[in-house]
Structure 1
């Protein structure tokens, strides 16, 4: 039997703690129905007997204190819901215990932006971490030593699991069940809780938010030009002429500040513009593509799929509203 320690981190969401507890418990129920012994012992393990969550809105009772637990098998870090630097500071008392348990062989299951706290411990340095698309820029600024991947839903590296996206932790739990207990159990859990089992990427959900907290006024001006007129034919040469700057040096400068090349930034803005048009209104897909400044429909479709993992037609079906 594996021991599961769910940490009621300060500023965590009650939903992520309770849902995780429910899913692990339901796996034990599945085992019982099949005449098998339970596979998980699930406990909420905290610093105090009662922990306040969500800035005091809720209180949760712990099963055990961390000082009373010498060894665990899986540690769950729940989703955080406040200003991340504050949450990190409040949860520092967990850090030595967390690192010690990991070094003893415990696996760490980190739910969405619980990764901000996990990264603060140093355990993610040099490793991959899935981060919610809306938090990527802030995460990269705070933790440059972490290899951020914002296009996948789940990472699994040396006993540390992360996921990007608010409720993608449901998929992370299914991933763990499949890894530990087999595909059949994961499918059963997915059906019982009606979770899309094979969701692998954040791309179809992400809204492009260009990095603008860099303090470079010239780069910011270029970003504003691109975003104010997404249908324009923004080539690198045209942007550099507009800004009166040399191409080679500005391309390096732009990439360093935004993590995107100029071409990538233009493409992402055009795709975001097209997504909004596809979500509402009656324009045809061809009309929308032409409005982005593209003449070659196939070229736009390739760029659109690269960014979203969907074709424009598939995207409209997914987000175009009820018909």
Structure 2
């Protein structure tokens, strides 16, 4: 991936009163280092990520362990961010929501202006308060699952997931999973080489990241066709089985002709093309993070003909599976 100067990202980490400081400072440090690596690897004039801690009140806030945090800016002084990161709440979540509620309308306003948003751990509660997650998937810390479902019945909670990507809204599970989310976002914005180098340098285990297969499809989910979104998610979750047009048509009660037309209109791919791309992405991740043989991986991503898969893989990546593994393997 070639990064252009105009693409440098402005990131705001929210300074929540009495938050878990690890989920505020940790993401900031990972992005700071990744931004430096991206600068060096792409010949940029400045680090790729410009990260600030943003408060809703005073410039000094207290975290859950009593450690004060100095903030770079106030939300009233920030009119543009590319990415907002919401750290985890600590202790009594509902009490913390009341204390930090002033962020809620600002987050919603910034999202409507084009900012992407990522929540960490129980930060998903503050994000859900905006209403932006209604009808979408998210995850949070396992201990807060029941309370989350009670408060936000219109949000589809996936507690077993480490990372959930809705295209421009992200969430991750328990506190330290922020490491996986940050590496996921580094790969999405800076490319796989920067992400892997950052993970290696900071000793972050990316093998836990079960949701990292589909970052390249995020822009194809910005449409409003809910049925096609469901079909996309179904394909991504079942790529290893025989996904024929007949099966999708029958399962989702839609004619093949209408399915092709609506899918192409929403994603710019036919269903068949999308299935191929999902399988290639799944194979790429297995090549990067597992010790399975190429033949085993081909079988696990739904192909029986190795030659056919190798042709498709080269079509989308420009290299053979073995060459790709030699270049990008994390194992």
**TM-score w.r.t. length of structure 1:** 0.60
Instruction: Return 61-70 or 33-42, whichever deviates more.
Output: 33-42
**Equivalent-residue separation in structure 2 for 1:124 and 1:176 (angstroms):** 19
Unmatched tracts of structure 1, length 5 or more: 203-323
Deviations, residues 232-253 of structure 1 (Å, cap 9, x unaligned): xxxxxxxxxxxxxxxxxxxxxx
**Equivalent-residue separation in structure 2 for 1:53 and 1:200 (angstroms):** 28
Equivalent in the alignment of 1:6: 13
1:175 maps to 2:179: no
Per-residue deviation at 1:160?
0.6
Aligned ranges for residues 1-40 of structure 1 at < 5 Å? 1-34=8-41, 35-37=43-45, 38-40=47-49
1:115 maps to 2:124: yes
CA RMSD in angstroms comes to 1.6
Matched residue of 1:198: which SS? helix
Per-residue deviation at 1:89?
0.5
**Equivalent-residue separation in structure 2 for 1:127 and 1:46 (angstroms):** 27
Per-residue deviation at 1:201?
5.0
Which one of 55, 64, 76 corresponds to residue 54 of structure 1?
Answer: 64
Equivalent in the alignment of 1:78: 87
Per-residue deviation at 1:135?
1.6
Contact 1:129 1:162 in 2 (8 A): yes
Contact 1:78 1:111 in 2 (8 A): yes
Matched residue of 2:175: which SS? coil
Tell me which structure has the larger Cα radius of gyration: 1
**Equivalent-residue separation in structure 1 for 2:22 and 2:72 (angstroms):** 17
Contact 2:36 2:48 in 1 (8 A): no
Contact 2:120 2:140 in 1 (8 A): no
Unmatched tracts of structure 2, length 5 or more: 1-7, 212-331
Contact 1:49 1:63 in 2 (8 A): yes
**Equivalent-residue separation in structure 2 for 1:98 and 1:156 (angstroms):** 18
Equivalent in the alignment of 2:113: 104
**TM-score w.r.t. length of structure 2:** 0.58
Equivalent in the alignment of 1:208: none
Which one of 147, 150, 170 corresponds to residue 138 of structure 1?
Answer: 147
Per-residue deviation at 1:96?
1.4
**Equivalent-residue separation in structure 2 for 1:201 and 1:148 (angstroms):** 16
Contact 1:44 1:62 in 2 (8 A): yes
Matched residue of 2:36: which SS? helix
**Equivalent-residue separation in structure 2 for 1:97 and 1:176 (angstroms):** 22
Equivalent in the alignment of 1:165: 174
Deviations, residues 10-33 of structure 1 (Å, cap 9, x unaligned): 221111111111111101221343
Instruction: Return 17-26 or 29-38, whichever deviates more.
Output: 29-38
Off by >4 Å, runs of 4+ in structure 1? none
